[in-house]
Amino acid sequence: MDGERVARVWLSGVGEPGDVGVWRLVEKVGAVEAMAAVQRGRVPREVGVTEKRLAGLRMRAGAFDLEGALFICAQFGGRVLVPGDAEWPTTLGHLGEAAPLLLWVRGRADLRAVCLRSVAIVGARAATPYGTRVAADLGAELADRGWTVVSGGALGVDGAAHRGALAADGTTVAVLASGVDVAYPPRHEAMFDEIAATGLLVSEWPPTAHPTRPRFLVRNRVIAALTKGTVVVEADLRSGALNTARHARDLGRHLMAVPGPVTSLMSRGCHDLLRAAPPHTRLVTCAEDVIEEVGAIGEGLDRPDGRPVLPRDHLDPDSRAVLEAVPATPRGAPAEAIAAAASVDLPTTRSRLALLAATGFVDRTRTGWRLRTPHTPPTPDP
Amino acid sequence: MDGERVARVWLSGVGEPGDVGVWRLVEKVGAVEAMAAVQRGRVPREVGVTEKRLAGLRMRAGAFDLEGALFICAQFGGRVLVPGDAEWPTTLGHLGEAAPLLLWVRGRADLRAVCLRSVAIVGARAATPYGTRVAADLGAELADRGWTVVSGGALGVDGAAHRGALAADGTTVAVLASGVDVAYPPRHEAMFDEIAATGLLVSEWPPTAHPTRPRFLVRNRVIAALTKGTVVVEADLRSGALNTARHARDLGRHLMAVPGPVTSLMSRGCHDLLRAAPPHTRLVTCAEDVIEEVGAIGEGLDRPDGRPVLPRDHLDPDSRAVLEAVPATPRGAPAEAIAAAASVDLPTTRSRLALLAATGFVDRTRTGWRLRTPHTPPTPDP
């Protein structure tokens, strides 16, 4: 692991993600020198790290076990992404001084590729049966149309959205406020394992880190920044989902909300968003509405000629093998047949098909996957 | 009854309300001469009444019993309003060539006065329990704040809105597609009697006329034109309520819709309105939201100094007697006490209090009515 990456791991373990002072320090002198500066106890005054904050960082430095974190990450097959990596989502740069220094990632998918065509579905933990039903339907239908479902892995709306995407054999990304090896909430342990098998668990916090209330809020900006838009399914007036919504709006992302009964407290946050002053939150009732909003023409997501957004030789070997095995017939072939033909295991095949769909190489059909031919509409009815 | 009024009764009984040709003819030569022209079978070519249409009018002339209609109207204590009458709502002029020639009115309230501060609540006949609950709540809460509830008298949302207003001792106006003496739907006969006792039944069709499908649609423009804004509570995609909504939008009235579960077919029309291109339909969840929309500052409804919109000497004798009996105390007095003090019967007192509230002379309190003093907020929490 290169020195820059190690230094970022150290800085993000010692500092707290979202700390603008540390970000400015890295921006000014680079991560390696920033680490050394913190260790020395002297940083350029103009980055805005106070003496007190610096003392705090140095105290935490004693407690942070860098080698231990990297060892645990290697054990569960995780990886560390930093800006400049091919898999680093460039959209995180829109966060400016609040951009993450690094991401810990667990799972088979390519983060940047699957987020090219992704939507965040967020909402209340104390969701009603209506909210979880709508979230699961949206998750499944968006996955069906080749969209990646990003959420926060929480109980209620988040979990329902992830499960909907999983049920549709789609790709889903859980952005956590804990280490990607920590099952929080514990009830979601099996779901997180399932997500890692085809999609991704993502976090700014090192392995074994536990979530805190402020961390959930800091995490939300990453959900908003990774995606083309955020859908709030249910939210009471003080829901954290409204914080994600604010980030989406501030970042110029599409902000959408699902209406509900005006008699339901859990829809009040959504209705407030929909009643707020411009820029308007878009009312959405189904996946089609969401795609109409985030996939608007002129978005630069699909090339006008319907060609893939990545050159074929940028694909990894597994993706190329899977792509070779996808038929051009209108009905396509199921993932199982493609996996067999490509000699690639089924979970890997599924995650690569999602990547190939997100980047415009293949399309879903009712029964499987087919090659996309130029000038084919990008997302036909599955 | 003056000749002009009689001629309008004849023309509206012989023609069909909403007929632009007849309206143009009246506009051009006056109602008396228009009637004579139809009877003669010769009308100026430029008004656009075809030979065939003229023949149709003359055929219907033989079947229309003008004296009979006026006799029945007198029996149930109704009246005929025409443009220029003090009670004629001038906002109907916004309909241009589609404006009514006259209105048949049954009930104690003053149409123009009660419509000064009025909102239409419309929606599906096949409303869900959610829709009728929301309509009734909105009707009651708007009535509580001194707003008149206008609707179409139909089953479902309309009926619930009227009943909500009645339950709150408020004023409600049913604009019918039948004669104001015809109980359609029959199930609403008792409700119509109750409406007439304190509010109004209004129609463009003469007594005994029965409703037809086209008449419901023609009627809708009057609902939209009489009110400051229209709230659609529930509507499927082909609901007549969306026709009223279109009229409201075309007339530059405030258009509002209540959201509901995205899983409910009966909320689809509302969600479509809320998703439509600008001018935007406003999402409303309660009476407060509605009043915020229709009672916006700068609407010209309330004078900035909080004074009444009508001079005191324009009031009818009953209204003046009731006004004399309203106390200036903060808690006010209940309608029963005011009726006794004014020596006016209770239903009349109630309808006059609604008029006085609409015109800015009195305000509702928790327990009754009080004089509005200049600079008092116009609609305090009841």
On whether any CB of chain B is under 8 Å from the CB of A254, the answer is no
Alpha helices in A30-109 (DSSP H): 31-40, 51-63, 66-75
- Regarding whether B252 and B125 lie in a shared domain, the answer is yes
Interface subset of A 134-173, CB within 8 angstroms of B: 134
The stretch A235-242 carries a mean pLDDT of: 94
Nearest residue of B to residue A285, measured between CA atoms = B262
Residue that finishes a domain, picked among B268, B294, B320: B294
Which residue among B133, B262, B289 sits closest to A259, beta carbon to beta carbon?
B262
Q: Rounded to an integer, what distance in angstroms lies between the CA atom of residue B245 and that of residue B309?
A: 28
| Confidence bin at A307 (pLDDT 50/70/90) | low
Counting the structural domains of chain A, the total is: 3
| Stretch among A125-129, A293-297, B22-26 having the lowest mean pLDDT | A293-297
Q: What percentage of residues in chain B have a pLDDT greater than 70?
A: 93
Helix A129-144 with A157-167: angle, nearest 10 deg: 40
Which of B130, B254, B262 should be substituted to probe chain A, the one whose Cβ sees the most A Cβ atoms within 10 Å?
B262
Do the domain assignments include residue B379? no
- Token pair in block for residue B333: 């007095």
Q: Rounded to an integer, what distance in angstroms lies between the CA atom of residue A326 and that of residue A332?
A: 7
Do the domain assignments include residue A253? yes
Q: What are phi and psi of B176, to 5 degrees?
A: -100, 160
| Confidence bin at B316 (pLDDT 50/70/90) | confident
Tell me which residue range forms the domain holding B10.
3-64
For residue B43, give the nearest of B80, B15, B17, B67 by alpha carbon. B15
Q: What is the pTM of this model?
A: 0.83
Enumerate the residues of chain B whose CB falls inside 8 A of the CB of residue A289.
Answer: 275
pLDDT tens-place string over residues A316-336: 888 899 999 999 888 899 999
Q: Rounded to an integer, what distance in angstroms lies between the CA atom of residue A311 and that of residue A17?
A: 34
ipTM for this prediction: 0.80
For residue B191, give the nearest of B153, B157, B219, B222 by alpha carbon. B153
* Greater pLDDT, B176 or A355: B176
- Regarding whether A236 and A98 lie in a shared domain, the answer is yes
Residue that finishes a domain, picked among A294, A326, A345: A294
pLDDT tens-place string over residues B57-89: 999 999 999 999 999 999 999 999 999 999 999
Chain-chain contact of A271 with B263 (C-beta, under 8 angstroms): no
On whether any CB of chain A is under 8 Å from the CB of B283, the answer is yes
The whole-number pLDDT of residue A299 equals 42
**CATH code of the domain containing A287:** 3.40.50.450
- Regarding whether B177 and B29 lie in a shared domain, the answer is no
The whole-number pLDDT of residue A296 equals 52
pLDDT tens-place string over residues B151-204: 999 999 999 999 999 999 999 999 999 999 999 999 999 999 999 999 999 999
Tell me whether strands A79-81 and A103-107 are parallel, antiparallel or unpaired.
Answer: antiparallel
- Map residue A366 onto helix, strand or coil: coil
> Residues B222, B115: contact at Cβ < 8 Å?
no
Where are any strands of DSSP class E within chain A? 79-81, 103-107, 118-122, 148-151, 172-176, 200-203, 229-232, 254-257, 282-283, 362-364, 369-371
Q: Is the peptide bond before B100 cis (omega within 30 degrees of 0)?
A: no
pLDDT tens-place string over residues A34-85: 999 999 999 998 888 889 999 999 999 999 999 999 999 999 999 999 999 9
Flag whether pLDDT at B24 surpasses 70.
Answer: yes
Q: How far A285 CA sits from the closest chain B CA (Å)?
A: 5
Q: Rounded to an integer, what distance in angstroms lies between the CA atom of residue B107 and that of residue A295?
A: 55
Enumerate the residues of chain B whose CB falls inside 8 A of the CB of residue A282.
Answer: 275
The whole-number pLDDT of residue A351 equals 80
- Regarding whether B207 and B246 lie in a shared domain, the answer is yes
CB pairs under 8 A between A and B: 58
- Regarding whether B147 and B264 lie in a shared domain, the answer is yes
Chain-chain contact of B260 with A258 (C-beta, under 8 angstroms): no
Q: How far A293 CA sits from the closest chain B CA (Å)?
A: 11
Alpha helices in A265-371 (DSSP H): 268-275, 287-294, 317-325, 335-342, 346-358
- Regarding whether B54 and B136 lie in a shared domain, the answer is no
Which residue among B133, B271, B283 sits closest to A271, beta carbon to beta carbon?
B283
pLDDT tens-place string over residues B142-159: 999 989 999 999 999 999
Do the domain assignments include residue B242? yes
pLDDT tens-place string over residues B95-128: 999 999 999 999 989 999 999 999 999 999 999 9
- Regarding whether B193 and B339 lie in a shared domain, the answer is no
**DSSP assignment of A232-261, as one string?**
E----TT-HHHHHHHHHHHTT-EEEE----
* Dihedral (CA of B160, B163, B165, B168) sign: negative
Q: What percentage of residues in chain B have a pLDDT greater than 90?
A: 77
Flag whether pLDDT at A378 surpasses 80.
Answer: no
**DSSP assignment of B181-223, as one string?**
TS-SSGGGHHHHHHHHHHSEEEESSPTTPPP-HHHHHHHHHHH
The whole-number pLDDT of residue A84 equals 93
**CATH code of the domain containing A364:** 1.10.10.10
Do the domain assignments include residue B240? yes
**DSSP assignment of B90-130, as one string?**
GGGGGGGGGS-S-EEEEESS-HHHHHTTEEEEE--TT--HH
The whole-number pLDDT of residue B374 equals 60
- Regarding whether A184 and A135 lie in a shared domain, the answer is yes
For residue A372, give the nearest of A287, A310, A317 by alpha carbon. A310
On whether any CB of chain B is under 8 Å from the CB of A263, the answer is yes
Flag whether pLDDT at A287 surpasses 70.
Answer: yes
